Amino acid sequence: MSLDSKVPQGPIKDKWTDYKNHIDLVNPANKRNIDVIVVGTGLAGGSAAATLAELGYNVKAFCFQDSPRRAHSIAAQGGINAAKNYQGDGDSTYRLFYDTVKGGDYRSREANVYRLAEVSANIIDQCVAQGVPFAREYGGLLDNRSFGGVLVSRTFYAAGQTGQQLLLGAYSAMNRQIGRGKIKMYNRHEMLDVVKVDGKARGIITRNLITGEVERHSAHAVVLGTGGYGNVFFLSTNAMGSNVTAGWKAHKKGAYFANPCYTQIHPTCIPVSGDHQSKLTLMSESLRNDGRIWVPKHMKDVEAIKSGALKPRELAEDDRDYYLERRYPAFGNLVPRDVASRAAKERCDAGFGVNATGEAVFLDFASAIQRYGKETAHVKGLDENDAALVKKLGQEVIKNKYGNLFQMYEKIVDQDPYNTPMMIYPAVHYTMGGVWVDYNLMTTVPGLYCIGEANFSDHGANRLGASALMQGLADGYFVLPYTIGDYLSHDIRTGPISTDSKEFEEAENDVRKQLEFFVTNKGSHSVDYFHKKLGKIMWNKVGMSRNVKGLTEAIAEIKALREEFWKEVKVPGTNEEYNEELAKAGRVADFLELGELFAKDALNREESCGGHFREDAVELDGEQKGEAKRNDEDFAYVSAWEYKGEPSDAVLHKEELEFKDIELKQRSYK
Amino acid sequence: MDMNLTLKIWRQKNASDKGSMVDYKVSDISPDMSFLEMLDVLNEQLINNDEEPVAFDHDCREGICGMCSLYINGEAHGPDRGVTTCQLHMRMFKDGDTITIEPFRATAFPVVKDLIVDRSSFDRIQHAGGFISVNTSGNTIDANATPINKEDADDAFSAATCIGCGACVASCKNSSAMLFVGAKVSQFALLPQGKIEATDRVLNMVKQMDDEGFGNCTNTGACEVECPKGISLENIARMNREYLAASLKG
Ligand SMILES: Cc1cc2nc3c(=O)[nH]c(=O)nc-3n(C[C@H](O)[C@H](O)[C@H](O)COP(=O)(O)OP(=O)(O)OC[C@H]3O[C@@H](n4cnc5c(N)ncnc54)[C@H](O)[C@@H]3O)c2cc1C
Ligand code: SF4
Ligand code: FES
């Protein structure tokens, strides 16, 4: 099969409008006869389910948590981008488009990114209309903050709980439709396979996580909004249940999987504290608006801080190395995430890490507290030279902006970040790779759509901060509802899809077989044992910095681990009850396949781009010495992998990327 | 210093099983572990001994999804303040302690298994009116067309930070859901967008709350104390005012 991205003709700024003017529509009466399955109720799935139901389709929505409100979008902290230019600082659709393509290191599809920037402003209008309480200024208008990799302030936020507020907005829109009977909600249901009939996606197989019942659900189209696969690393900022199963099962049924190796390692997370660690916690990038990142300049101070002889705040300014400000004067602490993460790793590898494990740098709010304190004192007509007062006022401002993040930090680390710098280290956070989709967000399986973090979409090799929330809501509120109509317009005479077919039966049987295997295989190790081992291989050999030797080893090790898993995994309990270990076993089985394809993809891509850093692809001299080196001649393509059995047999298809509206340049943040 | 602990945990096979407390021992628990990581250690131990692990709800493990819901030593989310169960750390306990762990109990929260309860009653209250009836379209008014007083916006936000965990219900001797419902009603009551449907919203949500079997509020304030997100009693007062006004109207 050749890859057709279905990007419409014409100038980039007219593509989406022209496209909408020319697609086939489904009339309202016919929509009532069409069923759509939406798997996932995060920002992408939740907004899609609500909008499709408003349009009149019959929607069945699924999530594995006990309520749609608990999808992992709830955890997003910092904000959402939109080209509103409320600050009058020169923002525009074009600039957001440009920043996103550049930030993604020129590995995304121009037309999709332009459309994303184009609809971004509508998202903010829609959310405000729903009652999402974004932060406001004293004049009553919406406030903005800045995120990494850009020079304008276009990020809308609700303290450190932006994802929560946006998701509750989408959840409320869903609730209205659930109340009207237009969405049938299936909580605590896990999708375990896609069902294809005559080549088209026509349903899914699910397991009811409470009763263990295996169920068939049919529809005219299936939408996956099932989130990212960062948990292939075991430790990540994702929720415990986040998984790749839906996307991976789709892959096995013919959907190509794109750019699996593009992972975002986020620079500001709370460092690992010990072997018991079950997940990692993000400290939002928005903190880099006000926090300055540093390590000591001299090794003796590193030692003194580690031993507790020296308090970080006591170290003189001159003895600190604000390494981002030093290396990247133009962007300073606001360089993109991949750049900030590698710089932290570089300092820690050189021995300057400031905690017991040597894997932490400081994120310091002292200067921001001073600055805000002085400002507030000045505005209120108080004494700007009263140090204690300035500190108190400054801390209040910081608390207002980031209070919940500071509290989270304090509860985990047991230190007060208002009075001592935070310690942070990079952690796996987001996956730019995912199921390949065309301009319509349709996968290579007709009738199977993929939206949100689960698709490979708009962020190229690196996602800019506050752009995932934007993409999830753009896909669900403003893009998919149009594009899916074009496809469904051919289904108005089809009638209900029966689940009584051999295709459904086969898919159900396969699912049952696997469940049965797990509960009867009396192996010797728990599911977590394997998951943790996989995570170690991924982090050490397919993590922040990759090389041929490590990747080759990783491929062999993951394959061996997978074989051991299928022999030795131990799942207690039965299938006919609530059984978390059983659910985890299925997810880890899929991670063990994805992990290998991930490493294979990283091995294939002999360049450094965005979050994918190859040690054999760096600038050797000049001003950019040591920085990542992209290879546009040979690698300006999307890697879309076709399933052929073992991950090692996967076949590579290339979607060549064209840059007509943006000139390909080396990304410089110097 | 690492700790050895005795755990008394509620075990219940399924909704129809009677259930009982069972004792377990865990050792070498680090004070830096979270409470749920301590339970992970117990579960790994149980699996290795061919016993059934303890079922409990959890997902984000950072205090925001509202999934975790343990009643620890007689308090919803345990002894610390302003935290969810997943944010509770073992440094709050000491070597040799006995810790009692039960589910969030209420008539409207039936037990599913062990420490997991069914909180879908909360969702149904939201279906009854926890929304503003606005369809998705690219042409609602510009987000800055209606300025909103910062204080109201901030208060609406504070009310909207409720995570729907149910600790308020579990802590209340009447199993009242007034704090949870009050928070949602308040969020919309404080914003101009929410005023249009205010009357129906409060009447419908309160009716659904009563139908689900949540008890009455007798102002003991236990909910506010245990709420991990600091949702204030002021929200209940605001809902009562809204309800009174709506009843007079309709
Ligand atoms: C801690 C954190 C902070 C972040 N902060 C920001 C930020 O400030 N700004 C920003 O733009 N982005 C941020 N991100 C990224 C962003 O939150 C996510 O990329 C985005 O929310 C993903 O949304 P989604 O709808 O695609 O998936 P999710 O919200 O993850 O939803 C996935 C849904 O799929 C369901 N599901 C999954 N698998 C199955 C299955 N097999 N069967 C049934 N259901 C299934 C789940 O139940 C869930 O409902 C952050 C991410 C994290 C982890
Ligand atoms: S009001 Fe507080 S305790 Fe009650 S559900 Fe909301 S967050 Fe939980
Ligand atoms: S697990 Fe999400 S709040 Fe505790």
Is a pLDDT exceeding 80 seen at residue B74? yes
Q: How far is CA A585 from the centre of its chain?
A: 23
Q: What is the CATH number of domain B3-113?
A: 3.10.20.30
Q: Distance between CA B100 and CA B227 in Å, rounded?
A: 20
Does the CA dihedral A528-A534-A535-A540 come out positive or negative?
Answer: positive
A157-179 pLDDT, tens digit each: 999 899 999 999 999 999 999 99
Contact B37 A278 (CB under 8 A): yes
Within an 8 Å CB–CB cutoff, is residue A356 touching chain B?
A: no
Scanning B2-61 for CB atoms below 8 A from A yields 13-14, 30, 32-34, 36-37, 40-41, 44, 46-48, 50-53, 55, 57-61
| Across A419-424, average pLDDT | 96
Interface of A with B in 510-539 (CB under 8 A): 526, 528
d(CA A661, CA A98): 9
Burial of residue A197 (number of CB atoms within 10 Å: 0-12, 13-18, 19+): middle
> Which helix (H) or strand (E) is A652 found in, with range?
strand A651-656
Which residue in this structure is represented by tokens 């189209």? Answer: A221
Same fold for the domain at A24-264+432-491 and the one at A501-636? Answer: no
Encode pLDDT of A189-248 as tens digits.
Answer: 999 999 999 999 999 999 999 999 999 999 999 999 999 999 999 999 999 999 999 999
Which class would CATH give A268-428? alpha beta
CB atoms within 10 A of CB A388: 8
Q: What is d(CA A252, CA A126) in angstroms, rounded to the nearest whole number?
A: 37
Residues 202-241, chain B, touching A (beta carbon < 8 A): none
CB contacts, 8 Å: A570 with chain B:
47
Q: Which of A176, A276, A208, A196 is nearest to A447 (CA)?
A: A196
Q: What CATH architecture does domain A24-264+432-491 belong to? A: 3-Layer(bba) Sandwich (3.50)
Ligand with an atom nearest the CA of residue B163: 2
- Give which of A662, A227, A160 is closest to A431, Cα–Cα: A227
- pLDDT score recorded for residue A149: 79
SS3 state of residue A196? strand
Nearest residue to A423 via CA among A213, A309, A281:
A281
Considering only CB atoms, B33 lies closest to which of A65, A134, A276, namely A276
Q: What is the pLDDT of residues B180-210, one digit of tens each?
A: 999 999 999 999 999 999 999 999 999 999 9
- Residues in chain A with CB shorter than 8 Å from the CB of B144 are 84, 86, 141-142
pLDDT at B65 over 80: yes
Q: Ligand 1 centre from A43 Cα, in Å?
A: 7
Name every chain A residue with its beta carbon within 8 A of the beta carbon of B133.
176
- In this prediction, residues A145-155 reach a mean pLDDT of 88
Average pLDDT over residues A382-404: 94
Task: Give residue A531's region: left, alpha or beta (phi > 0; psi -120 to 50).
Answer: alpha
| pLDDT above 90: percentage of residues in chain A | 94
Give the distance from residue A320's alpha carbon to the nearest chain B alpha carbon, in angstroms: 29
Distances (CA, A) of A422 to A182, A216, A363, A419: 47, 49, 5, 9
From the number of C-beta atoms within 10 Å of its C-beta (0-12, 13-18, 19+), residue A421 rates as buried
Q: Report the percent of chain A where pLDDT is more than 70.
A: 100
Separation between Cα atoms, residue A223 and residue A61, nearest integer Å: 9
Residues A46, A68 contacting (CB under 8 angstroms): yes
Which H or E element spans position A645?
Answer: none
Q: Which helix (H) or strand (E) holds A55?
A: helix A43-55
Contacts of A46 in chain B (CB under 8 A): none
In this predicted structure, the answer to whether residue A1 has a pLDDT above a threshold of 80 is no
Give the three-class secondary structure for B40.
helix
Domain B119-249, CATH homologous superfamily name and number: Alpha-helical ferredoxin (1.10.1060.10)
**The pLDDT of residue A438 is above 90:** yes
What chain B residue is nearest to A410 in terms of C-alpha separation?
Answer: B87
Q: Tell whether the model's pLDDT for residue A410 goes beyond 80.
A: yes
Res B250: pLDDT: 65
Q: Residue range A457-470: average pLDDT?
A: 95
Phi (first) and psi of residue A366, to 5 degrees: -55, -45
Mean pLDDT across B85-91:
97
Pocket of ligand 2 (CB under 6 A): B 162-168, 179-180, 183, 227-229, 231
Domain ranges of chain A: 24-264+432-491, 268-428, 501-636
Distance separating alpha carbons of residues A630 and A645, to the nearest angstrom: 31
- A94-103 mean pLDDT: 96
Q: Which of A128, A164, A282 sits opposite B143 (nearest CB)?
A: A128
- Put simply, the answer to whether B52 touches A578 (Cβ < 8 Å) is no
**Which tens digits make up the pLDDT trace of A251-278?**
999 999 999 999 999 999 999 988 899 9
- The residue nearest atom 3 of ligand 3, judged by CA position, is B63
- A52-68 core/surface letters (b: 16 or more CB in 10 A; e: else): bbbbbbbbbbbbbbbbb
Q: Which residues of B touch A69 (CB under 8 A)?
A: 66, 123, 164
Nearest C-alpha to atom 8 of ligand 2 is from which residue? B165
Chain A residues whose beta carbon lies within 8 Å of the beta carbon of residue B141: 125, 129
Hey, which CATH number is domain A501-636, 1.10.3470.10, 1.20.58.100, 3.30.540.10, 3.40.470.10?
1.20.58.100
What residue spans define the domains of chain B?
A: 3-113, 119-249
Q: How far apart are CA A205 and CA A510, in angstroms?
A: 10
CB pairs under 8 A between A and B: 213
Confidence band of A289 (pLDDT split at 50, 70, 90): confident
Contact between B133 and A176 using a beta-carbon 8 Å cutoff: yes
Measure the CA–CA gap between B176 and B168, rounded to whole angstroms.
8
pLDDT at residue A97 above 80?
yes
Is B96 touching A (CB cutoff 8 A)? no
Contact A74/B at CB under 8 A = yes
- Residue B138 and residue A119: Cβ atoms within 8 Å? yes
Give me the residue label for tokens 């996307």.
A247
CB B86 within 8 A of CB B62: yes
User: What value does the mean pLDDT take over residues B143-160?
Assistant: 97
Interior angle at CA A558, CA A556 and CA A561, nearest 5? 110
Indicate whether this complex's ipTM tops 0.95. yes
